[in-house]
Amino acid sequence: NQGTSASRVATTNETGGYTAPSLPPGAYTVQAEMRGFRMAVQTNLYLEVNQTLRADLDLKVGDVAEKIEVSAVAAQLQTDSSTVATTVGNRKVVELPLNGRSFTQLTILVPGAVGTGTATFQSSGTTVSISGLRSENNNYTLDGVNNNETFFKSYGVQPSIDAIQEFKVQTNITSAEFGTGAGANVNVVTKSGSNEFHGNLFEFHRNQRLSSKNFFAERADQPIPVFRQNQFGGTLGGPVKRNSTFFFFSYDQTKFGRGQSLLSSIPTAAMLAGDLSRDFEGKPAPQIFDPATTRTVNGVLVRDPFPGNIIPTSRIDPAVIAYNKAFIPTPNISVPGSNYINANSNTLDGKQWMIRGDQRLGNNNTLTGRMSLNRSDNLRPANFTTYDNILKNTFANAMISDTHTFGANTILDIRAGYHRNNLQTQDSSPGGKDAVVNWINTHKISGVPAFKKESVPLYPQFAINGLFSVSQGGFPFPDDTYSFLGSVSRITGSHLLKIGWDFRHMRNLDDGFFTANFNFNKNATADPQNVATTGQSMASYLLGLPDSALRNIGDTTAIMRKNDYSVYVQDDWKVTQDLTLNLGLRYDYLAWPHHRDDKLGSFDLDTGKFIWDGINPVDGSPPNVRRGIVEPNYTNFAPRIGFAYRMGGKTTVRSGYGL
């Protein structure tokens, strides 16, 4: 390795072939020598992640002290693997223009890839569909260990692009080493230190003064919305002890504020006081009827109209009056279709750091450890200035690996990984916890439980059809994945045999919370004989008469567990100098998630009965279905076969099949 001076010894077989598996990516020098022949050397051979790189050396008769050296300057053709892959090196990652500086934006460079947008509840990055498959089918790894966001099925940690050595997107995979997803395998490799100190500092800045108006803003003579974005940080790597101990550190921070305009329709002061003779635009409003006068006349339901379309103040629900004071602002514009605008900024403060260490323990052992952490706080304005939505994300990924060489023919590579996703989104509440507790305890609306979640102060959610709705909810999704994987590679003649395993233990917590939801439509204040053109949802709201309501009962926390087991065997057989067969078999046991305390239940459409996997909380009866409810697949065998045929050194034909 030209950066760390690490070396590996390999012995050729009877046909002159040699293999050095499980090497980390980087620039290498390959040297061949034999008594009675001149030494042959190739330098600047760049090995990519998950690549089989061919380096042919020609030994000529002569003194072993003589040396023939060749420096590789062009990209080497992949001639010994049937897997199709695209590698994006550090130069492309750093130098290509990226608005947001996320490596995921470069995955759309892969043939057959289409960007599908930013992942759910993430503030940056791009999900991608490859070969027509869903973006959720891709598998993301970081330095060989799991890096998947498990709830919405997307990427997890996004390292600073200055900390990425390269990443590879593998499609049409025929190696049994890879599984768990039918899409692409996206493997990111972080930088390591070397015998030379290297580092950098960077700052990327954007603001509205560097932007142009769009077509509509130009036509309306509107100013460019305020926008400020700064991304800054740096990296440093080098030796702690030359040729044996190395470190690498990176830090990256993103801060931006972006002006935006949210238009909505809100009740006027007259409407809040009960005068519903006109709508928020001042136009005549539909007639409203008093539900308290509902009666049957000659077998027909009838109601009396409110005189002048005005609800007496004494009839307005006190809980609604207090709710309006907390949430409903004063109209501030008058444009067709809207009478209120919230121009608060969308702000983001994101930090990410990574530290990595590499230790050579003699000539046959290399130990690597890395820790990565991403945190971001995203304040997203709601329709009203009285509350906001706050998105807090934390992604952590840790890895430790040990690569040990036993002689010239056997390699053991083991890795342990930890990955955490903690997606949290929550609406703020006017006045904070004390105001919420006071509102709930004062009005005691039927169906709204007493305030219990001290850390989650939320009002109930009121939605008035055709006018406005207030969001008061949120959820945390802390998910932890522990992985232990490894492989043993053995060179036997012209065969490279590899046996490996991958065990993953997942711990997920889902706690979507809200106090209660109430939906109001016009039915309660419409003429029973003419519902289509009478009644107003605002009138039903002022009277406190919802059309439907929803609330949680009992413990809303789902504490889920899951264990996945995978094993595989792979044989890369070099049949001739030009033909390589890739043969493999993989087995995956993918368990169905189960509740830690066996609290899952469902309804069986086949039998028409309820099923549960723990003690029934209603009648105390024992479980009537297996743990986790769903029967897993025990026959998930996946054969893989492929070949790569080299034609003249400049052309390679590949083909493969796999499940």
pTM: 0.82
- Buried-exposed string 350-369: b where 16+ CB fall within 10 A, e elsewhere: bebbbbbbbbbeeeeebebb
Tokens standing for residue 487: 């492989």
Residue 333 lies in a domain: yes
pLDDT of 59 above 90: no
Cα–Cα–Cα angle for 442, 444, 446, rounded to 5 degrees: 165
Cα gap 138→191, rounded to integer Å: 23
Number of domains in the chain: 1
Cα gap 101→352, rounded to integer Å: 12
Residue-level pLDDT at 19: 76
Residue-level pLDDT at 9: 79
Q: How confident is the model at residue 321 (pLDDT cuts 50, 70, 90)?
A: very high
Q: How confident is the model at residue 357 (pLDDT cuts 50, 70, 90)?
A: very high
- Closest residue by Cα to residue 510 from 615, 449, 427, 425: 425
297 or 44, which is more confident: 297
Cα gap 327→323, rounded to integer Å: 6
Inter-axis angle of helices 318-327 and 432-443, to 10 degrees? 170
298 or 15, which is more confident: 298
Q: What is the pLDDT of residues 455-496, one digit of tens each?
A: 566 888 899 998 888 888 877 788 999 999 999 999 898 899
Residue-level pLDDT at 435: 87
Residue 452 lies in a domain: no
Bridging pattern class, strands 468-469 and 410-427: unpaired
How many CA atoms lie less than 13 Å away from 184 in the CB half-sphere? 30
Residue-level pLDDT at 216: 58
Question: Please, are residues 248 and 237 in contact by the beta-carbon 8 Å criterion?
Answer: yes
Measured CA distances, 178 to 312, 384, 587, 638 (Å): 70, 48, 11, 10
Residue 279 lies in a domain: yes
Tokens standing for residue 379: 């304040």
Question: Please, are residues 254 and 260 in contact by the beta-carbon 8 Å criterion?
Answer: no
Residue 168 lies in a domain: no
Measured CA distances, 152 to 135, 138, 588 (Å): 10, 12, 21
If one counts every other C-beta atom within 10 angstroms of the C-beta of residue 67, the result is 13
Tokens standing for residue 619: 């009648």
Bridge partners for 423 per DSSP: 393, 477
- Closest residue by Cα to residue 5 from 21, 28, 22: 28
Question: Please, are residues 184 and 178 in contact by the beta-carbon 8 Å criterion?
Answer: no
Three-state secondary structure call for residue 522: helix
Q: What is the pLDDT of residues 60-102, one digit of tens each?
A: 766 555 555 555 545 566 777 777 778 887 777 777 777 778 8
Residue 316 lies in a domain: yes
* Beta strand residue intervals within 185-335, DSSP E: 185-190, 198-207, 227-241, 245-258, 262-264, 289-297, 300-305
Helices (H), ranges, 260-316: 269-272
436 or 540, which is more confident: 540
Domain holding 533, by residue range, is 265-339+517-545
User: Which residues have a Cβ under 8 Å from the Cβ of 26 and sit 6 or more positions away?
Assistant: 1, 2, 3, 4, 46, 47, 165
Tokens standing for residue 240: 């702690």
Report CA 338 to chain centroid distance, whole Å. 35
Residue-level pLDDT at 36: 64
Bridge partners for 141 per DSSP: 146, 187
Single-letter code of the amino acid located at 226: V
Residue 443 lies in a domain: no
Tokens standing for residue 658: 């796999």
pLDDT of 645 above 80: yes
Residue-level pLDDT at 278: 92
pLDDT more than 90, % of the chain: 43
DSSP label at residue 450: P
Lowest mean pLDDT among 21-35, 198-212, 527-541, 611-625: 21-35
Three-state secondary structure call for residue 485: strand
Measured CA distances, 501 to 179, 186, 296, 490, 625 (Å): 11, 19, 74, 15, 30
Phi and psi at residue 644, in whole multiples of 5°?
Answer: -130, 125
Bridging pattern class, strands 495-510 and 517-520: unpaired
- Closest residue by Cα to residue 162 from 228, 70, 212, 95: 95
Tokens standing for residue 31: 């040297």
Question: Please, are residues 524 and 545 in contact by the beta-carbon 8 Å criterion?
Answer: yes
Cα gap 398→434, rounded to integer Å: 40
Cα gap 566→411, rounded to integer Å: 20
Residue 146 lies in a domain: no
pLDDT more than 70, % of the chain: 92
Residue 527 lies in a domain: yes
* Beta strand residue intervals within 13-123, DSSP E: 26-32, 39-47, 67-71, 84-89, 113-117
